[in-house]
Amino acid sequence: MTTIRRRVARTLALPVAAVLVLLAVVVAIEARGYERAVSAARAVRQVLAVQDLVQELQTERGLAAGLLGGNAGFRAELGPARARVDERRTRLDPLFTRPLDALDGVRISTDAATVSRAAAFGFYTTRISDLSRLETDLDGQGDAELRRGAATLRALGDAKEAIAQERAFLNGVFSAGGFRTGEFLQFVTMRSARDAALATFARYATTAQRASADYVFGTGAAQVARYFEDLALASGDGRALTVNPQSWWSAHTTMLDDLLRLEQHVGSVINARAEVLRDQAARRMIGLGVLVLLGVAGAIALAVAASRSIARPLTELADLASRLAGEKLPISVRRVAAGEADAEPPPMTAPADATAEVHAVADALDRVQRTAYALATEQAHLRRGTTDSLADLGRRHQNLLRRQLALITRLEREEADPAGLADLFELDHLATRMRRNAESLLVLVGASGPRPSFEPVPVEDVVRAAVAEVEEYRRVTLRRIDEVRLAGTAAGAVAHLLAELVENGLAFSSPEVEVEIQGRLVGDRYLIAVVDQGVGMTGADLDEANQRLRGEADFLVAPARYLGHYVVGRLARDLGAEVVLTPSPVTGVTARVALPAALIVAEPALPPPPPVTVEYLPAPALPQQRPAPDGRTPNGLPRRPPRAPRVARLHPAPPDPALAPDDTRSRLTAFRSGVARGAQPEEAQP
């Protein structure tokens, strides 16, 4: 069922969804820009860290080339240089330093002079090139300034690498005293790569960055390095070079350190630009997020306000109608049924701020309430009148049956003919069953009244009294029944309850099948089971029957075949007992009756026996017992009185006069004949 809130929500769902989709697209674009800015800043930091490592590798390469060129003075500097390389490696992710996995082997070969200068130079140069070409994604950034800074940084790194190669290469040449075959061409190639990289740097660098580069190449160390380069260029014809390699190394190293600082400055500018882009993207995302939240909140607020203005009055009206149907109207009907006046529920009114349509609904519901109250009141009066009539009818039947039973009892005492006496016994049995039906009617209408008080009755006698009130009592078998005594005020009600259950079991069982009754004392309760092997009941029928046994239904609106269940339920409620129907082990139904401890009367305790006194004579002789007092055995134990009859009549009858033996025999014969005739089918009876 669709509510007003859902309808309003569906109406606003499409435009709100469209706005949210557009905002989501914009946010996604900004989020991508933010992610790229963050990635650029991270890439710049990685490039600077790699350049630090490259700087130290370049130094180690130059020292190794000088050592392999024959200058043993570089051995002392090679150890600290290697330590700085290793320290820079630990700062980077192992993924970036993977090209240096074979570095330890080259170092060992260099120390042992088992590797040529050219091979060592080539190894270091290749690894430095691999590190410098790591993918950083700076060229793919959307910001032009960031791309230009990345190009400047790369060009400066290439120029710095070319200068470092030149330093390492000439360090070996100067240590060896001149160029070997093909080495001059390599030197010229390195200078050409340096000049090309510096030209690229000049094209992308800012004015301040170009000025910084010019300053680096105009220092004294740079001029000394240029002097040594000119000497090397003049020795292309193979002449010997007699120069101090240490001076060349020191001048070039100073210039490379200056270029490293320039490189770090360019990287810091790029990093600052990436941070600015990241902050801008973050602010835009926050702004868009706030707009999205405001848009969603506004849409929700509009939807809630629109639905609340309509749904809230209707909800209050529905709650009022629900309370009317569930509480107010039933209370008013019960008050009317109890004879109270002015029990009509208050009128239904809509909230003051409700619309005209809601007020119209409230007026209609108020008319429905008045009509329902009138009908319910009429039904309550009719029900009370019906109940009173049934109670009066039940009492009349009960009085007539009591008189009839008294008359039958008197006729039985006066009847001498066995056949007539058998008819009177059968009539007495039918009248007893009719009396139980009259009592059932009073139980249903709640007019049974207080029951007479008797002495405590053995539970077996109560069970036998219940069996005596059913038609086919000979099909009932008593199994084990634990001996207890029930309160006299509850004996009749328990017998009535059991009679209804036994008769129900007999009615739904085959004529040749017996109904069993068992009784057990379990804890402080007494359990009685009435077991039949009849047609049984389905699970749904058992649930409905147990509801009737719990008193959760009204007998006035139920089929007449279920009246016995309502009688048992009312009796169980009055006794505080519990009755449940369950399937029998094989087939049929088992009725379990749990009698509370309040209905069980304890057996009277026997008084303790007095002590036995034994006297001893002076001479050896057997002890003589003193005479036993009255009511005790010669041994001094209490004498058990004769037990009262097991079967007690729960409905008192006038005492019978003393009968002669012949009269007793005739009555017994008539009783057997009446029982036999009662067991025959009606069409077979004369």
Q: What percent of the chain has pLDDT over 90?
A: 9
Name which residue leads in pLDDT, 381 or 116: 116
pLDDT at 498: 93
| 580 CB neighbour count, 10 Å cutoff | 15
Among 160, 171, 267, 168, residue whose Cα is nearest residue 217 = 160
pLDDT at 129 over 70: yes
pLDDT at 65: 81
Mean pLDDT of 74-91: 87
**Choice among 14-28, 359-373, 499-513, 629-643 with the minimum mean pLDDT:** 629-643
Q: Which residues contact 402 (CB under 8 A, 6 or more apart)?
A: 435
**Which of 102-116, 235-249, 278-292 reaches the highest mean pLDDT?**
102-116
Tokens of 657: 């006069």
Band of residue 390 on the pLDDT scale cut at 50, 70, 90: low
pLDDT at 668: 56
Name which residue leads in pLDDT, 610 or 457: 457
Name which residue leads in pLDDT, 290 or 305: 290
The number of angstroms, rounded, from the C-alpha of 230 to the middle of its chain's C-alpha atoms is 85
Domains in the chain (CATH in brackets) are: 4-293 (no CATH), 450-601 (3.30.565.10)
Among 625, 543, 620, 539, residue whose Cα is nearest residue 580 = 543
Helix (H) or strand (E) holding 485: strand 485-486
pLDDT at 608: 54
Among 494, 512, 508, residue whose Cα is nearest residue 545 = 508
Band of residue 624 on the pLDDT scale cut at 50, 70, 90: very low
CB 195 within 8 A of CB 229: no
| 405 CB neighbour count, 10 Å cutoff | 18
pLDDT at 450: 55
The number of angstroms, rounded, from the C-alpha of 409 to the middle of its chain's C-alpha atoms is 70
Which residue(s) pair with 515 in the sheet? 476
**Choice among 295-309, 322-336, 449-463, 641-655 with the minimum mean pLDDT:** 641-655
Band of residue 370 on the pLDDT scale cut at 50, 70, 90: confident
**Which of 9-13, 192-196, 621-625 reaches the highest mean pLDDT?**
192-196
pLDDT at 658 over 70: no
pLDDT at 616 over 50: no
Prediction pTM value = 0.42
Name which residue leads in pLDDT, 160 or 29: 160
Average pLDDT of the chain is 77
pLDDT at 617: 39
Band of residue 685 on the pLDDT scale cut at 50, 70, 90: very low
Q: Which residues contact 559 (CB under 8 A, 6 or more apart)?
A: none
Packing angle, helices 220-234 and 183-204, rounded to 10? 140
pLDDT at 184 over 50: yes
CA separation for the pair 684, 156 (Å, rounded): 129
pLDDT at 153 over 90: no
Question: How wide is the angle at C-alpha 488 spanned by C-alphas 437 and 549, nearest 5°?
Answer: 45
pLDDT at 651 over 50: no
Mean pLDDT of 570-596: 90
Mean pLDDT of 159-184: 84
3-state DSSP assignment of residue 301 = helix
**Which of 59-68, 471-480, 608-617 reaches the highest mean pLDDT?**
471-480
pLDDT at 427: 81
Phi, psi of 285 (to 5 degrees): -65, -40
Name which residue leads in pLDDT, 476 or 301: 476
pLDDT at 316 over 90: no
pLDDT at 622: 37
pLDDT digits (tens, 9 = 90+) for 202-252: 998 899 889 999 998 899 888 988 888 888 888 877 778 888 888 888 888
For residue 171, with 0-12 CB atoms within 10 Å meaning exposed, 13-18 middle and 19 or more buried, which class applies? buried
pLDDT at 53 over 70: yes
**Choice among 23-27, 50-54, 458-462 with the minimum mean pLDDT:** 23-27
Q: Which residues contact 401 (CB under 8 A, 6 or more apart)?
A: 431, 434, 435, 438
**Which of 28-32, 73-77, 399-403, 652-656 reaches the highest mean pLDDT?**
73-77
Mean pLDDT of 653-677: 51
**Choice among 113-122, 473-482, 663-672 with the minimum mean pLDDT:** 663-672
pLDDT digits (tens, 9 = 90+) for 495-536: 889 998 998 888 888 888 899 999 999 988 999 999 998 888
